[in-house]
Structure 1
Amino acid sequence: MSDQNRFLEIHYSLRGKTLPADHGYALYSAIKQQLQKLGYENLPSDLRLSTIPGVPNHEGVVYLNQASRFRIRCLSDQVQTWYRFFQNQVLDIQGHLIRLVQPRITLPKPSRTLAARLVTFKLEAIDHLEMPHYFLESCQKRLNHLGIQGRPFIPSDPNGDLARRTIQVKGKKVVGYRVIVEDLTPEDSLKLQWHGLGGRQHFGCGWFYPHKEDIDAA
């Protein structure tokens, strides 16, 4: 059985008030620090991390609410290990403290349309006007490599501009886009949720979820 047919999600509720809006790398760093206490040098490649949704104040902070969740994806035979590891874990995210509580194990849900808040690729230095074209080419090439039939596109923001996103990694700003992939079969939908698209996936990039969830992750 392939990996995409035997992975599970674990959802953790949160105790805390706020997070930095751009917290993907800081969240990764906090988790890595806890893992090192167990002898891990880096996060395992088959552990997927999401960023945490909240209500943005548009000044670099998001407020956590009852819908805010920290989510991971892992292989079914590792679920007990990660369930115990993250339960009641306290993470310091750039001075914002959160506790992970009340874990729930769920099956991933296939959906004809998936969305990712931020996808990034290592593109050569090109004119920004040309970047969406090369970015979508990279998305399509990766989908083809994975054997996924689907149509990727960059949606627009409420103001009508392309949904351009950034993430700060070690003081460097990395540019990407929000991505939606349509016309997926159930099998391809699960495959995309497991493999994701692009790089920096330990920082929450390339995390696809059913578009109907409409999560405005920070």
Structure 2
Amino acid sequence: MTSHNHFLEIHYSLRGRTLPADHGYALYSAIKKQLQQLGRPDLPSDIPSDLRLSSIAGIPNGEGMIYLNRASRFRLRCPTDQVQTWYRFFQNQVLDIQGHLIRLVQPRITLPEPSGTLAARLVTFKLEAIDHLEVPRYFLESCQKGLTHLGIQGKVFIPSDPNGDLARRTIQVKGKKVVGYRVIVEDLTPEDSLKLQWHGLGGRRHFGCGWFYPVKEEPNAA
């Protein structure tokens, strides 16, 4: 198992115009399809558990789509010893995400940066059969348990959207809506900050959920 001190981030610029705003599952499926079609012995046929994927930020058009801009990036985290493999695999890769084509170009390798405050666009837990008024409390308790399990001290909260509502988010997985929230964790030590960036919180990590990033690099997308 990779220690959180031994991973790197790879960022790719994008050639393409639009994506569905909710593209986490479609992005995962497109990558998995490319791996299977290549069928190379040096590559797995599915995305391994120690490859972390982020969803892609853009400018929302308010109708379920985002426009990609200069700041839009496809980002992944992987163990240092796998960087070569994934760097090459994704370089110039064209992905078909529900009919939207994007090409991954100009990869950059970067060290993850510790930050006292981290945010995740969407964290999900399995919270079936709970009265929906109680969901935020159960959700926060699940986040807290997740942090404790990782041995991380930090203050976790659900922020509000610009309109003052709780930042509730959904992701479609195989046609089923999964509900979660945007999450912020404060008061992290540098060590715990890197640990949380590597391990994340909640489920559906391959679909971009539970991906924490330093708040100062806040993307302008929802």
The equivalent position to 1:59 in structure 2, one of 43, 51, 63, is 63
1:14 corresponding residue in structure 2: 14
Equivalent position amino acid for 1:65 in 2: N
Q: Which residue identity does 1:28 align to in structure 2? A: Y
User: What is residue 196 of structure 1 aligned with on the other side?
Assistant: 200
1:3 maps onto 2:3 in alignment: yes
Instruction: Give 2:119's aligned amino acid.
Output: A
Change (3 A) 1:116 1:13: same
- Distance in 2, matches of 1:120 and 1:41, equals 26
- Residue aligning to 1:100: 104
**Residues in 2 aligned to 1:51 and 1:7: alpha-carbon distance in whole angstroms:** 18
1:213 partnered with 2:217: yes
**What is the CA distance between 1:37 and its match in structure 2?**
2.6
Separation in 1, partners of 2:37, 2:26: 17
Structure 2 portions without partners, runs of 5+: none
TM-score w.r.t. structure 1 length? 0.98
> Paired residue for 1:136?
140
- The answer (yes or no) to whether the contact 1:51–1:217 under 8 Å persists in 2 is no
For 2:117, the aligned partner's letter is T
CA RMSD of aligned residues (A): 1.2
Equivalent residue number for residue 164 of structure 2: 160
Give the residue type in structure 2 aligned to 1:192: L
Q: How many residues align?
A: 218
Q: Give 2:144's aligned amino acid.
A: Q
TM-fit CA distance, 1:174: 0.2
Letter of the aligned partner of 1:85 in structure 2?
A: F
User: SS of the residue aligned with 2:152?
Assistant: coil
Match of 1:80 among 69, 80, 84: 84
In structure 1, the residue matched to 2:95 is 91
2:38 pairs with 1:34 = no
Determine if the alignment matches structure 1 residue 176 to structure 2 residue 180: yes
Name the CA distance, whole Å, in 2 between partners of 1:2 and 1:52.
24
Q: Counterparts of 1:20 and 1:216 in 2: how far apart (Å)? A: 16
- Which structure 1 segments of 5+ residues have no match? none
Contact 2:94 2:101 in 1 (8 A): yes
TM-score w.r.t. length of structure 2: 0.96
Whole-Å separation in 1 of the counterparts to 2:88 and 2:25? 23
Equivalent position to 2:191, from 168, 187, 203: 187
Identical-residue share of aligned pairs (%): 84
Amino acid at match of 2:35: L
Q: Is the 8 A contact 1:117 1:216 kept in 2?
A: no
1:119 paired to 2:128: no
The DSSP-based 3-state class of the residue aligned with 2:84 is helix
**Which residue is equivalent to 1:110?**
114
Q: How far 1:217 sits from its partner (Å)?
A: 4.2
Structure 1 ranges of 4+ moved more than 4 A: none
